[in-house]
Amino acid sequence: MLNLILFGPPGSGKGTQALRLIDRYHLVHISTGDLFRQEMGRETPLGKEAKAYISRGELVPDHITIGMLRNKVNAHPEAEGFIFDGFPRTLAQAEALDQLMAEEGTTIHLLIALDVDDEEIVRRIRGRAAISGRADDANDTVVRNRLAVYKNETAPVFDYYAKQGKSHRIDGMGSVEEIFQRLCTLIDQTIHSLKKGALI
Ligand code: UDP
Ligand code: MG
């Protein structure tokens, strides 16, 4: 198995790159943000609850997000591995993910953070708002809050996996293809180490 966390601030390109990576490495893509948007679109109780937080740019509480993630992982017993996109966003979520992976007899192998500067993030989110219709992309106050939440609550997840020797950063500025190549180089190195038995 290969279990990868794609990490980075809102608008850093996680979703775009995840779609390319699943094709290349035959992984299952789990974006908790996309799952919440599906629930909101269907107006389920979970969607209604999540909407209140998302519209303010706050995090949906850990127990809700972890429960939803767990269901999604359990729904894919055939998976050759997972790409976690936009999760974990807190240290408690990282601990829960590690526990879930251990229950499945596997582990997180790699976290890759996409480094993108704040100015570029704001530019990308504005562009996305125009086509996605996402209310949380269209409001500057909400976007600023999402960036603050990322810095305060989510950034520590990088250090959490760094302590396990699993965190890497790549330059997230450039063309989609250039960034994809950087990701593939790092993932191929990890697969190579896994084959040599250097990682679990
Ligand atoms: N969200 C959350 N927990 C998650 C994923 C998403 O609370 O695990 C909420 C949060 O309010 C966030 C919003 O959903 O601001 C959009 O998240 P998404 O990952 O889709 O946006 P991105 O960061 O990719 O721009
Ligand atoms: Mg996303």
Contact indicator for 15, 34 with CB cutoff of 8 Å:
yes
Inside any domain, residue 37 = no
Inside any domain, residue 183 = yes
The whole-number average pLDDT for the span 153-176 is 98
Grade residue 20 by pLDDT with cuts at 50, 70 and 90. Answer: very high
Between CA 43 and CA 45, with CA 44 as vertex, the angle to 5 degrees is: 120
pLDDT greater than 90 at residue 53? yes
Selection from 188, 2, 166, 197 nearest residue 84 by Cα: 2
The whole-number average pLDDT for the span 80-85 is 97
**pLDDT of res. 199:** 54
Inside any domain, residue 51 = no
**pLDDT of res. 198:** 57
**pLDDT tens sequence across 68-82:** 999 999 999 999 999
Inside any domain, residue 57 = no
Domain range enclosing 189? 2-27+79-196
Mean pLDDT of the chain: 96
Inside any domain, residue 96 = yes
Inside any domain, residue 60 = no
Q: Phi and psi of 103, rounded to 5°?
A: -60, -30
pLDDT greater than 60 at residue 200? no
Inside any domain, residue 56 = no
67 alpha carbon – ligand 1 mean position (Å): 15
86 alpha carbon – ligand 2 mean position (Å): 6
Residue 102 Cα to chain centre, angstroms:
19
Inside any domain, residue 61 = no
For 167-178, b where at least 16 C-beta lie within 10 A, e where not — what string? bbebebeeeeee
Rounded to whole angstroms, what are the CA distances from 141 to 33, 67, 123, 124? 19, 29, 15, 16
Q: Which residues are catalytic?
A: 14, 89, 128, 134, 146
pLDDT greater than 60 at residue 43? yes
Number of compact structural domains in the chain? 1
Q: Cα(180)–Cα(146) distance, rounded to whole angstroms?
A: 25
Q: Give the environment of ion ligand 2: residues with CB less than 5 A.
A: 15, 33
**pLDDT of res. 197:** 78
**pLDDT of res. 18:** 98
> Which atom number of ligand 1 is nearest to the Cα of residue 89?
8
| CATH label of the domain that carries residue 135 | 3.40.50.300
Radius of gyration of the chain measured on its C-alpha atoms: 16
